[in-house]
Amino acid sequence: MKYFYLLFLLTVLACNDKIEKTEAPEISSEDNKTAVTIKNTSLVVLGTVQDAGSPHIACNKDCCKALFDNPDNGRKVVSLGVIDPEFDKKYLFEATPDVPEQMKLLKNYAASEVETPDGIFVTHAHIGHYAGLMYLGKEAMNASQIPVFTMPRMKNFLAQNGPWEQLVTNKNILLEGMTNDQVVKLTPNLKVIPFTVPHRDEYSETVGYTIVGPSKSALFIPDIDKWDKWGTAIIDEVSKVDYAFLDATFYDANEVNNRDISEIPHPFIIESMKLFESLPSEEKDKIHFIHFNHTNPALNTASEQAGLIKKNGFHIAQIYDVFEL
């Protein structure tokens, strides 16, 4: 019997030795970036890609082929986070299909114990901008009363159409109405101003946002038709802010050769660069292109097109970028 106990003891010690020597998993560079805690009111880029993501469903082009086998964790659908550490508040701009990861990123940057944002601002009813609300319902996290800030048509759309109205009925979300050009005060350090822009408004209006912090402000227009269709001069609006995150869905018309480009109007990057070419360098430096279609060569920062954007004095928005407000 004593040999049995001796054998048992040796086995336990051997197992313990194996446990102690088990190596911890490596932390990726992306995880390291999210380990930074925001100490001042700031804006964080949480995604830069057009609604359907990258790789794009059913895409057989070179831009997507390799990504199906080796996904790029940095390719998330367009979203911003805004954090006010002084008042322990964090807000999400856009509820994308990538919202599970983006909510976690926002929480980590804010060093918060609370998983959910203190509010979600939605621009319009196209899939990449509101479909993520589905994860707040009872099939997923069954959230409780998360404020969702919307304009009137968007508010009615969510309140009157399934399955979204179930989120309202079950109080997973609370719809907070906004008015065009009227200030929404979030904290003493932070306010948001919505404004309508022309776009394909099948189910809701489309808005952009001016996000105002204690020292700096940002313009966020991820979707718009063409700059000249807007009754406001984009150059004037850029002059009023410190950062401008602007629609860059397509680099030019050549990348979309299987659809009528008139059905999906956006300002091409080459058109925007032409419009902004006479601006002084400090104004160009404010502009960060965002909301890239999967076909957009600028998604590859090593591409000739991306190099030209940077050579001309503009920026390509990157996930994990942080901007103090």
pLDDT in tens, 233-245: 999 999 999 999 9
21 part of a folded domain: no
15 part of a folded domain: no
CA angle 302, 300, 80 (to 5 degrees): 125
Phi, psi (degrees; rounded to nearest 5) at 30: -65, -40
- Count of domains observed in the chain: 1
Reply yes or no on whether the pLDDT at 19 is more than 50. Answer: no
Cis peptide before 163 (omega within 30 of 0): yes
Residue ranges making up the domain that contains 139: 27-324
**CA–CA gap between residue 11 and residue 7 (Å, rounded):** 6
211 part of a folded domain: yes
5 part of a folded domain: no
DSSP classification of residue 117: -
Query: First CA to last CA across the chain, in angstroms?
Result: 73
In sequence order, the 6+-apart residues with CB closer than 8 A to the CB of 35 are: 108
Domain with residue 115: its CATH number is 3.60.15.10
SS3 content of the chain, % helix, strand, coil (to 5): 35, 20, 45
305 part of a folded domain: yes
69 part of a folded domain: yes
Q: Is the backbone of residue 29 left (phi > 0), alpha (psi -120 to 50) or beta?
A: alpha
205 part of a folded domain: yes
Residues 117, 208, 160, 128, CA torsion sign? negative
Bridge partners, residue 208, by sequence: 195
286 part of a folded domain: yes
**How many beta carbons lie within 10 A of that of residue 293, not counting itself?**
22
Per DSSP, the three-state class of 91 is strand
The tens digit of pLDDT for each residue in 182-235 reads: 999 999 999 999 999 998 889 899 999 999 999 999 999 999 999 999 999 999
The tens digit of pLDDT for each residue in 54-64 reads: 888 888 888 88
- Could you tell me which residue, 65 or 19, shows the higher pLDDT? 65
Residues 278, 284, 287, 292, CA torsion sign? positive
